């Protein structure tokens, strides 16, 4: 098993750890960008209160509720509509890497749920209207652009943004595992993302000089 990865049961047996559950919601689509670029799939992420990109979800206390009941409760707060998640949607549990010298005590549980495109649209509408967390813990839901433009835009530029924890690798692993994109398509986007990242560092240095 890959480093840090735990079976769901092993993760639940870890005492003194915090547990966070997050889910990638996605659907197929026939929509075309500019009427000619097939989008193929809709994948939802969110801009969090701290400005980072992540998946909807949150902390769950397994001594009080199941991981899936806790995740479903968090989703209602963040999305404004009931999206029941079950154990069959579980993909992996992982010990989060330590951020300081102290060992990590956070275990992240990741889920993936396929929906109909119409249900995804309902989630998008509710998340900006009825969700209690809108504008507070969640600044807004976003669709991951799964296409690449000639100049490396789309997924490449999206991946150059900053993500919470291991959310970027959760996204990339899911796109590969579910065959939403091929390995060469992802490699191409990641190369473009690295270039964009270097350019952003230069832009930020120039912006800092203005202050």
Ligand X SMILES: O=c1[nH]cnc2c1ncn2[C@H]1C[C@H](O)[C@@H](COP(=O)(O)OP(=O)(O)O)O1
Shortest distance, position 35 Cβ to ligand X, whole Å: 32
Shortest distance, position 202 Cβ to ligand X, whole Å: 28
In terms of residues, how long is the chain?
211
Contact pattern from residue 64 through residue 103 relative to ligand X, giving x for each residue in contact according to CB under 6 A and a dash for the rest: ----------------------------------------
How far is 165 from 168, CA to CA, in rounded Å?
Answer: 8
Query: Is residue 153 near ligand X by the rule CB under 6 A?
Result: no
Exactly one of 166, 174, 192, 193 binds ligand X (CB under 6 A); which one?
Answer: 166
Query: Is residue 24 near ligand X by the rule CB under 6 A?
Result: no
- The sign of the CA dihedral 49, 57, 9, 90 is negative
Exactly one of 6, 11, 12, 22 binds ligand X (CB under 6 A); which one?
Answer: 22
The closest of 142, 167, 158 to 192, measured between CA atoms, is: 158
Residue nearest to ligand X (CB): 58
Shortest distance, position 199 Cβ to ligand X, whole Å: 25
Q: With respect to ligand X, which residue has the nearer C-beta, 20 or 112?
A: 20
Q: With respect to ligand X, which residue has the nearer C-beta, 117 or 137?
A: 137
Choices 4-12, 61-69, 111-119, 158-166; region in contact with ligand X by CB under 6 A: 158-166
Do the bridges between strand 106-114 and strand 90-95 make them parallel or antiparallel, or are there none, so unpaired? antiparallel
Residues 5-28 as b or e (16 or more Cβ within 10 Å = b): ebeeeebbeeeebebbbbbbbbbe
End-to-end Cα spacing for the chain = 48
Query: Is residue 165 near ligand X by the rule CB under 6 A?
Result: yes
The closest of 96, 98, 76, 94 to 85, measured between CA atoms, is: 76
List the structure tokens of 176. Answer: 């590969």
How far is 122 from 80, CA to CA, in rounded Å?
Answer: 10
Exactly one of 137, 147, 172, 200 binds ligand X (CB under 6 A); which one?
Answer: 137
Binding region for ligand X (CB under 6 A) = 20, 22, 54-55, 57-59, 108, 137, 164-167, 170
């Amino acid at each position: 098993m890959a480093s840090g990865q735990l079976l769901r049961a092993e993760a639940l047996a870890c005492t003194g750890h915090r547990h966070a559950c997050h889910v990638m919601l996605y659907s197929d689509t026939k929509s075309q960008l500019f009427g000619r670029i097939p989008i193929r799939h809709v994948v939802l992420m969110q801009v969090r209160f701290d400005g980072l990109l992540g998946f909807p979800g949150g902390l769950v206390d397994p001594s009080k509720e199941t991981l899936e009941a806790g995740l479903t409760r968090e989703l209602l707060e963040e999305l404004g509509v009931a999206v029941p998640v079950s154990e069959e949607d579980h993909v992996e549990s992982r010990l989060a890497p330590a951020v300081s010298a102290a060992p990590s005590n956070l275990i992240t549980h990741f889920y993936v749920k396929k929906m109909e495109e119409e249900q995804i649209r309902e989630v998008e509408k509710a998340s900006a209207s009825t969700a209690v967390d809108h504008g507070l813990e969640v600044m807004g839901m976003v669709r991951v652009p799964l296409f690449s433009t000639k100049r490396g835009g789309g997924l490449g530029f999206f991946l150059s943004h900053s993500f919470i924890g291991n959310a970027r690798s959760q996204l990339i692993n899911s796109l590969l595992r579910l065959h939403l994109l091929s390995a060469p398509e992802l490699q191409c986007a990641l190369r473009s993302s690295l270039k964009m990242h270097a350019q952003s560092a230069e832009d930020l240095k120039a912006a800092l000089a203005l202050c």
